Chains A and B, each alone.
Chain A
Amino acid sequence: MSIETIDADEVPIEEVLGSAVKRREDPSLITGRAEYTDDIQRPNMLHMAATRSPYGHAKVGDIDTSEAEAMDGVEAVFTAADFDVPGEIPVGWLLESLRTPPHPILASERVRYQGDAVAVVVADSRAVAADAAQAVDVEYEQLDAVTSPGDALAEGAPTLHDEDDGNVAFEWELGDAEKTSAAFEDADEIVDIDLVNQLLISNPMEPRATVAEYDAGSDDLRVHMTSQNPHLHRLLMSGVIDHPEQKLHVRAPDVGGGFGAKIHHYADEALTALCARELERPVKWVATRTEGFQTDAPGRGHETSARMALDADGHITGFEVDTKANLGAYLSTFAPAVPTYLYGTLLSGQYDIPAIHVEVTGAFTNVPPVDAYRGAGRPEASYLVERIVTQAARQIGEDPAEFRRKNFVDSDDFPYQTEVAVEYDSGDYEKTLDAALDAIDYDAFREEQELAREDGKYLGIGLSAYIEACGLAPSELAGQLGAQAGLWESSLVRVHQSGTVTAYVGTSGHGQGHATTFSQIVADELGIPYDDVEIVEGDTDEVPQGMGTYGSRSAAVGGSALVESARKIVEKSREIVAHQLEADAEDVEFDHGTFHVAGAPEQSVGIQEVAGAAYLAHDLPDDMEPGLEATSFYDPDNFVFPFGLHAAIVSVDPDSGEIEVERYVAVDDVGNQINPKIVEGQIHGGVAQGIGQALYEGAQYDENGTLLTGSLQDYTVPKAEQIPELETESTVTPCPHNPLGVKGVGEAGTIAAPQAVVNAVTDALQPFGVDDIEMPLTEERVWRAVEEAK
């Protein structure tokens, strides 16, 4: 059932939080008035293009730039030798065993992936820059390449960095190895699985882009870029290009989607800034889609063997996981965190598992640096857990829904400490299971499936009881785990003298509707009309500090930071009112924008009037500063743990391998919902990307490290006809430890969907004994699986 939107002015203030108000972002986006980075024009602006390696792995000899330099309109050509700056991209997450080979912004002696840049050209038009980049003549000596983590870690594999250490980037483990192996010794049943979680390319519709402007008089460097976290980009870039942080300004204008690809610090953005500083002219760089395929950080890329131990009653008693993770050619910004702390810590799934042990080996390979893509680590964990749980149920002949129910963490057992370091905050897993089974009419489906099989039609149902950890926190813990950044969020709420509000927050939205949801939060906290609240984010000049938007942190961490600032304003206002009404502050009550003395509701003062008084400052309590604004740095107590049950029904034609997703039911619990329509939209979009992974998407390389899926013609970003109608429902289990009770929704669908589909297809093919097909489930793979099982 679809949720209807409503105009904000039809919603009473006390109901604005939780209402499906229309997005205030939309008028500019639907009329062409939005400003994306490539829309920015500056007088005298130059254009940058990069000369990129056509090879996956090669030694670089001479770089001859003379032909490019001689072209009409070319202003400059730069190679690594031309920049006297550190020029190396740092790693933002360290692990004990981590190797950190240099990650230069321009390669000089060796290129390690197709698309690794060796030179940049700056010219007076985009077309001339592109031509000149092609005209840079680079001598390459091609080397053997390796693109999968398993191959990279095998004996005799070509190595990317220091030959003596092979391609091992790190070795990491979590959980209790001894207890887990004991569980397997005592097991009544052991379930084995080998699976690949393929490398994906995130493909936001807007390619990455940068416009940099330099003022030599003030040394100010302004960088407008496709960023999910301008403050982090400011910090990282300031080191990479050696520019003082306070003179570097990073701004994300409208950003056309991110999905993780716009979190990390890349060479291109730093190079654009360097060119602008060097030439003292505005410089623009815009990736083509092909460059995006070659250089945007891909995600996933796991090869895993795992086994699960069961007792005679079908209870899970142990889980052992060995994963090889693809890290690409160099370490991207948060790369080490993704296959370790964002993955291993979720391997308990929704289940009460008494013994878990996971080992992960990170591998360097000749693909672009791998990093977070929507979900980041959590989808890989959820895929593994939900695939092996399905297999376990099959192996002992139990219904997959009942097997899950039996092994769920009980709703009375929260907070629940897992064997893999995290403590789940709140949950009610049976509730989402029941809601999904009801919606799909599970028993009726099983009967229909039987009858269909008799008619030679193969229907299947797949369940996915996913969990995720988002709103990464708290900073101290993140630090202990290796994060080189805090994971708080900052806000400034400023009530103006007239009573309207501007709120600044350190998140940085790129399609999620932050201006709408954050206004709902601030309006609710202060009791000020929604239309009187303005939200500012995505600009390091305007917003005091911030950490950005990724990992579904914006509502839980950014929203909570806004609540904290708003509450400080209410407290200051309460003191002003108490002073003016000659009452004790503790006797002054606040209710949706109005203060009154307890027991005397007739004598009330609105918060917007208080704002006027705070700035007039004619009659304030002794020692109180004038003005009405407050800043907060909110550091969460724990992660938030959204969960849900997604179910897919498919029909499979074993003769052609064709799959039809006939129904897709998503029941999600993301805690309290600030705007249910936006929540629904996030689920839809996430599920579409998850179905994309299950059925269509995957980066493929040949043996030379050449990307075979390097354009939208070869890599299937799903079209409208390829995504089924989605049925969504929610349950609400508030998060107990943040002031909004929210969890996170941005990644849920992407985490949940792949295994729902794969489990459904293998369920459909049970008569053939097919338990396993690798994603994406192309017609050929499905057909082969059936033929091989026959």
Chain B
Amino acid sequence: MAEHDITLTVNGEDHELTVESRTLLVHALRDELGYTGPNVGCESTLCGACTVHVDGDAAKSCTLLAVQADGKEITTVEGLAEGRDLHPIQESFQEEHGLQCGYCTPGMIMTTKQLLEENPDPSREEIREALEGNLCRCTGYQNIVNAVESAAGKLRGAQAHGD
């Protein structure tokens, strides 16, 4: 199988690696580079546990080949907190009990981040709609929706204060 040398910038750090043509981005991130935040829950692009940002847009990393991400900026859930200071979305997931087993959570958080960048004040219906590509089997979604609402409030507050 053909191999390719590619460069991925993950959470601000440059990595050079060699991948097979068929290597999926999620496997390059997880198995080659050790970013285990994105999880694999299906092979059908339906569960969303592997969601990361590619050049700022949420994408399912099991649907992209690693070579397609060559030269791109990737953000995984590991890139959100600053040291021990959680990102407001992460804080809200903890405060609102927006997770149980946590397997879908990195994907949920990355999808939420994109949603709130595009729509800082979503309704509960809009939140549920935005999460349609991320499955959770534990929470019944209600506390996830609460977490997204609460995070939106915090981020709007931060913006209003010019942070």
Residues of A participating in the B interface, judged by any CB pair closer than 8 Å = 2, 5, 22-23, 25-27, 29-36, 38-39, 41, 126-127, 203-207, 254-257, 259, 286, 288-290, 510-513, 677-678, 680-682, 684-689, 711-713, 717, 719-721, 723, 725-726, 749
Within 8 A of A (CB), among B114-138: 124, 127-129, 131-132, 134-138
In the bound complex, residues from chain B placing their C-beta under 8 Å from that of A510 are: 101
Question: B86's contact among A27, A255, A512, A711, by CB below 8 Å, is which?
Answer: A27
Nearest B residue to A509, CB-CB: B101
Could you give, for residues 72-84 of chain B, a 1 whenever the CB lies within 8 Å of some chain A CB and a 0 otherwise? 0000111011000
B47 on the A face (CB < 8 A)? yes
**Minimum C-beta distance from A115 to chain B (A):** 15
Q: Do A30 and B101 touch across chains, with their CB atoms under 8 A apart?
A: no
List the 5 closest A-B pairs by CB distance, nearest first: A32-B37, A511-B101, A29-B102, A256-B103, A688-B140
B22 at the A interface (CB under 8 A): yes
Distance in angstroms from A449 CB to nearest chain B CB is 25
Interchain CB contact under 8 A, B143 and A681: yes
Q: How far is the CB of B38 from chain A (nearest CB, A)?
A: 8
| A141 to B: closest C-beta gap in Å | 30
Q: Is B145 positioned at the interface, with any CB of A under 8 Å from its CB?
A: yes
Give chain B residues whose Cβ lies under 8 Å from the Cβ of A513.
100
Residues of B near A726 (CB, < 8 A) are 140, 142
Q: Are B101 and A204 in contact (CB under 8 A)?
A: yes
For A721, the chain B residues whose CB sits under 8 A away are 128-129, 131-132
Check if B42 sits within 8 Å of A257, measured CB to CB: no
Known contacts A31-B86, A681-B97; A717/B140 CB under 8 A: no
B104: chain A residues within 8 A (beta carbon): 205, 256
Q: Which residues of B contact A686 (CB under 8 A)?
A: 140
What are 10 A-B residue pairs whose CB atoms fall within 8 Å in the complex? A23-B94, A26-B99, A36-B39, A38-B39, A206-B41, A259-B137, A289-B44, A685-B100, A720-B128, A723-B142
* Given A30-B94, A688-B140, 9 additional A-B pairs, CB 8 A: A2-B146, A22-B95, A36-B103, A205-B138, A289-B42, A680-B143, A684-B139, A720-B128, A726-B140
Q: Quick check: A30 and B143 within 8 Å, CB to CB? A: no
Tell which of B30, B103, B134, B143 has the most Cβ of chain A within 10 Å.
B103
> Cβ of A26: which chain B residues have Cβ within 8 Å of it?
93-94, 99, 102
Q: Which residues of A contact B99 (CB under 8 A)?
A: 26, 29-30
The answer, among B23, B44, B109, B138, for a CB contact under 8 Å with A713, is B44
A-B contact count (CB 8 A): 182
Contacts of B95 in A (CB 8 A): 5, 22
Question: A511: which B residues are within 8 A, CB to CB?
Answer: 100-102, 138
Closest chain-B Cβ to A210's Cβ sits at a distance in Å of 15
Q: What band does the interface of chain B fall in when counting residues whose beta carbon is under 8 Å from A?
A: 35 or more
A29 to B102, CA, bound (A): 5
Residues of A contacting B96 in the complex (Cβ-Cβ under 8 angstroms): 2, 5
* A719 close to B131 (CB less than 8 A): yes
Contact in complex: A30, B42 (CB < 8 Å): no
Interface residues of B in 34-80 (CB under 8 A from A): 34-44, 46-47, 49, 76-78, 80
A26 and B143 alpha carbons, distance in the complex (Å): 14
A356 → chain B closest CB, angstroms: 33
* 8 Å CB contact of A711 from B34, B37, B44, B76: B44
**B134 to A: closest C-beta gap in Å:** 8
B97 touches A680 (CB 8 A): yes
Q: How far apart are the CA atoms of A717 and B127 in the complex, in Å? A: 18
| B106 / chain A contacts, CB cutoff of 8 Å | 30, 32
Q: Kindly list chain B residues whose C-beta atoms are within 8 Å of the C-beta of A127.
A: 20, 22-23
Inter-chain contacts of A256 with B (CB < 8 A) = 39, 41, 101-104
Residues of B within 8 A of A27 (CB): 86, 94
Cross-interface CB contact of B81 among A31, A205, A286, A678, cutoff 8 Å: A31
In the bound assembly, the distance between CA atoms of A154 and B135 in angstroms comes to 39
Residue of A2, A289, A677, A719 near B41 (CB, 8 A) is: A289
Complex formed: what's the CA distance from A235 to B141 in Å? Answer: 37
| Contact of A39 with B36 at beta-carbon distance under 8 Å, contacts A30-B109, A205-B101, A257-B101 already known | yes
Contact A5 B44 (CB under 8 A): no
Is there an interface contact between B97 and A678, defined as CB atoms closer than 8 Å? yes
Contact B94 A720 (CB under 8 A): no
Across the interface, which residues of B come within 8 angstroms of A288, CB to CB?
A: 43
Most central of B23, B41, B127 by chain A CB within 10 Å: B41
A36 touches B90 (CB 8 A): no
| B163: Cβ under 8 A from any A Cβ | no
Contact in complex: A31, B90 (CB < 8 Å): yes
- Contact A206 B128, beta carbon cutoff 8 Å: no
CB distance from A689 to the nearest CB of B (A): 7
- Residue in B31, B76, B134 whose CB lies within 8 Å of A32: B76
A22:B103 contact, CB within 8 angstroms: no
A688 lies within 8 A of B143 (CB) = no
A382 to B77, CA, bound (A): 41
Complex-state Cα separation, A720 to B137, whole angstroms: 10
Q: Is the CB of B152 closer than 8 A to any CB of chain A?
A: no
Return B1 CB to nearest CB of chain A, in Å.
8
Indicate which residue in A126, A685, A719 contacts B132 across the interface (CB closer than 8 Å): A719
Known contacts: A680-B97, A684-B143. The answer to whether A36 contacts B135 by CB under 8 A is no
B44 and A29 contact, CB distance less than 8 A? no
For the complex, give the distance between the alpha carbons of A173 and B140 in Å.
36
Q: In the complex, what distance in Å separates the CA atom of A268 from the CA atom of B48?
A: 25
B131 to chain A, nearest CB (A): 4
Q: Please, which residue of chain B has its CB at the minimum distance from the CB of A726?
A: B142
Contact B43 A289 (CB under 8 A): yes
For B93, the chain A residues whose CB sits under 8 A away are 26, 30
Contact B140 A685 (CB under 8 A): yes
CB within 8 A of A205: which of B20, B38, B76, B135?
Answer: B135
Contact B109 A205 (CB under 8 A): no
Shortest C-beta distance, A517 to chain B (Å), equals 12
B54 to chain A, nearest CB (A): 17
Q: How far is the CA of A726 from the CA of B124 in the complex (A)?
A: 13
Cα–Cα, bound, A27→B109 (Å): 13
Assess whether B140 is in contact with A687, with CB atoms less than 8 Å apart: yes
Q: Would you give the shortest CB distance from A28 to chain B, in whole angstroms?
A: 8
Q: Does B28 contact A (CB under 8 A)?
A: no
**Are A25 and B141 in touch, CB under 8 angstroms?**
no
What is the CA–CA distance of A257 and B128 in the complex, to the nearest angstrom? Answer: 22
Question: Contacts of B49 on A, CB cut-off 8 Å?
Answer: 205
**Residues of B with C-beta under 8 A to A290:** 43
Q: A127-B22, A257-B137 are in contact. Are A30 and B77 (CB under 8 A)?
A: yes
Across the interface, which residues of A come within 8 angstroms of B44, CB to CB? 289, 711-713
Q: B97 — which chain A residues lie within 8 A by C-beta?
A: 5, 23, 677-678, 680-681
Instruction: Determine which of A255, A688, A713 lies in contact with B101 in the assembled complex, contact meaning CB atoms within 8 Å.
Output: A255
CA distance A726 to B76 in the complex (A): 31
Q: What distance in Å separates the Cβ of A698 from its nearest Cβ neighbour in chain B?
A: 16
Q: How far does the Cβ of A410 sit from chain B's closest Cβ, in whole Å?
A: 33
| Beta-carbon contact of B101 and A717 below 8 Å | no
A723 touches B140 (CB 8 A): yes
Contacts A127-B20, A259-B137, A721-B132 given; indicate if A205 touches B103 (C-beta within 8 A). yes
Most buried by B among A25, A126, A205, A723: A205
Contact among B22, B78, B139, B143 for A31, CB-based, below 8 A: B78
Q: Nearest residue in A to B11 (C-beta to C-beta)? A: A32
What's the nearest-Cβ distance from chain A to residue B75, in Å? Answer: 11
Q: Which residues of B contact A681 (CB under 8 A)?
A: 97, 100, 138-140, 143
Contact B139 A685 (CB under 8 A): yes
Closest residue of A by beta carbon distance from B78: A32
Determine whether the beta carbon of A205 is less than 8 Å from that of B94: no
Task: Tell whether, in the assembled complex, residue A688 and residue B141 are in contact, meaning their CB atoms are under 8 Å apart.
Answer: yes
Please give the distance in Å from A572's CB to the nearest CB on chain B: 36
B41→A35 contact, CB < 8 A: no
- A22: B residues at CB distance < 8 A: 94-95
Q: In the bound complex, do residue A30 and residue B140 qualify as a contact, i.e. CB atoms below 8 Å apart? A: no
Partner of A34, one of B81, B102, B109, B138: B102
Separation of A472 and B127 alpha carbons in the complex (Å): 40
How far, in whole Å, are A34 and B35 apart by their CA atoms in the complex?
A: 11
A33 proximity list for chain B (CB < 8 A)? 78
CB of B144 closer than 8 Å to a CB of A: yes
